[in-house]
Amino acid sequence: MEAFIKGIPKAELHLHIEGTFEPKLMFEIAKRNGISIPFDSVEEIEKAYQFDCLQDFLDIYYQGARVLLTEQDFYDLTYSYLEKCAEQNVRHTEIMFDPQTHTERNVEFKTVISGILKACSDAEKRLGITSLLIMSFLRHLTEKEAFITLEESLPFKKHIKAVGLDSSEKGNPPSKFKHVFEASVKEGYIPLAHAGEEGDADYVWEALDILKIKRIDHGNKAMQDEKLVEEIIRRNIALTVCPLSNKALQVVPDLQNHPLKKMMNKGLKVTVNSDDPAYFGGQVNQNYLEIQKALHLSKQDIYELARNSFEYALLEEDTKRKYLTELEGFYKKNK
Ligand code: HPA
Ligand SMILES: [Zn+2]
């Protein structure tokens, strides 16, 4: 099973580039930028990664991102993640980035996106991995601030596929961002959002009905509401589920009690993702491995999860078909 999971072609659809920042690289970049971080060693950093809830994590995550200043920093961060993709047979990835985490510190939008894009382009040439970008608005900030970010993104519009909504969910419902999502859609961006990670089912309803999202990041709490589950299925919307993230942020008590298999049994389209792998104890393959063990998933289940990752990717149809054919070939040989 382990070799099957490691080898199966897959896409990652829920990944924050700032959440891939490994302690070793963080030290390196902090040193070259002359920025001090409140830790003396990699071990100390890892010990600090114990979270009671989403906010607990976010406080540390934004602190880590403070050391990122130059285009080279964003390049190194992104390329390092894409190398990990290659090792895990992640064939395609949809990378979220949080411009406001950087523009708030006077790092220009252009600096952030240029470094990320260059790494993506090099990885496509050298490693054969395709990727696209999702620009996420921070929901603890105002809608007015999101509008400024939208404006800043326009010169790079052709390099950004979608908009997302992340950060502190409770108290910041999707409806807060109704107008900026409408404006984003007018610009051609596909609307996506985190919903139902800590927020209740009504936040998922709002994300569907008010923001008109095409994919739900997390969506765990949708399981509280049978009608909502039916509606998500009716609209053929996928959930980007992140098992190790859910465990680390105590969205679930343990992986044995994770709703992933129940979601699949209900007919929801589920994918497996790492969210913030440097913080939550594993890359995407580790997420597949641990959830497989905890819930006794079969090879057929793993195949279904990998297939969803391509089916619900924001890829052009021909590229999608190419990956699905590759996946079929792997499954036939290894099932
Ligand atoms: O899991 C998450 N939830 C909300 N915001 C985030 N920003 C990075 N990771 C997350
Ligand atoms: Zn996330």
Domain count, the chain: 1
Q: How far apart are CA 193 and CA 249, in angstroms?
A: 18
Q: What is the CATH number of the domain that holds 24?
A: 3.20.20.140
Residue 46 has pLDDT above 90, yes or no: no
The answer to whether the annotation marks 296 as part of a ligand binding site is no
8 Å CB contact between 133 and 97:
yes
Residue 176 has pLDDT above 90, yes or no: yes
Domain, as residue range, for 21: 2-334
Average pLDDT of the chain to the nearest whole number? 98
Nearest ligand (C-alpha, residue 134): 2
Is the ipTM value over 0.90, yes or no?
A: yes
**Is there an atom of ligand 1 within 6 Å of 94 CB?**
no
Residue 101 has pLDDT above 90, yes or no: yes
C-alpha angle 8/10/12, rounded to 5°? 145
* Total-model pTM: 0.98
Give the burial string for 224-248 (b: 16+ CB within 10 Å, else e).
Answer: ebeebbebbeeeebbbbbbbbbbbb
C-beta pairs of 19-23 under 8 Å, 24+ apart in sequence = 19/61, 19/275, 19/276, 19/277, 19/278, 19/279, 19/280, 20/77, 20/78, 20/80, 20/81, 20/84, 20/276, 20/277, 20/278, 21/64, 21/65, 21/68, 21/77, 21/278, 22/80, 22/278, 23/278
Which tens digits make up the pLDDT trace of 303-312? Answer: 999 999 999 9
Identity at 204, one-letter amino acid code: V
Give the burial string for 192-211 (b: 16+ CB within 10 Å, else e).
Answer: bbbbbbbbbbbbbbbbbebb
Confidence of residue 293 (pLDDT cuts 50, 70, 90): very high
The whole-number average pLDDT for the span 157-161 is: 98
Q: 290 an active-site residue? A: no
Query: pLDDT exceeding 90 applies to what percent of the chain?
Result: 98
**Is there an atom of ligand 1 within 6 Å of 166 CB?**
yes
Residues whose beta carbons lie less than 5 angstroms from ion ligand 2: 275
